[in-house]
Amino acid sequence: MTRSDKERMLAGEPTLSGDPELLEIAARACFAFNQAHPDDETRMDHLRPIFGEMGENVWIEAPLYVDFGELTKIGDKVFINTNCTILDGGGVTIGDQVLIAPNVQIMAAGHPIKASDRMVYPFENEPERMNFVNLAGPIKIGNGCWIGAGAIILPNVTIGDRAVIGAGAVVTKDVPADSLAVGNPARVVRQI
Rounded to whole angstroms, what are the CA distances from 165 to 58, 80, 150, 186, 191?
Answer: 20, 14, 10, 8, 12
Q: Is the peptide bond before 38 cis (omega within 30 degrees of 0)?
A: no
Residue 37 known to be catalytic: no
The length of the chain in residues reads 192
* Active-site residue (options: 8, 43, 111, 187): 111
Q: Is 31 helix (H, G, I), strand (E, B) or coil?
A: helix
Residues 6+ apart with CB under 8 A from 38: 62
Q: Which residues of 108-144 are buried (b: 16+ CB within 10 A; e: fewer)?
A: bbbeeeeeeebeeeeeeeeeeeebebbbbbbbbbbbb
Catalytic residue list: 111
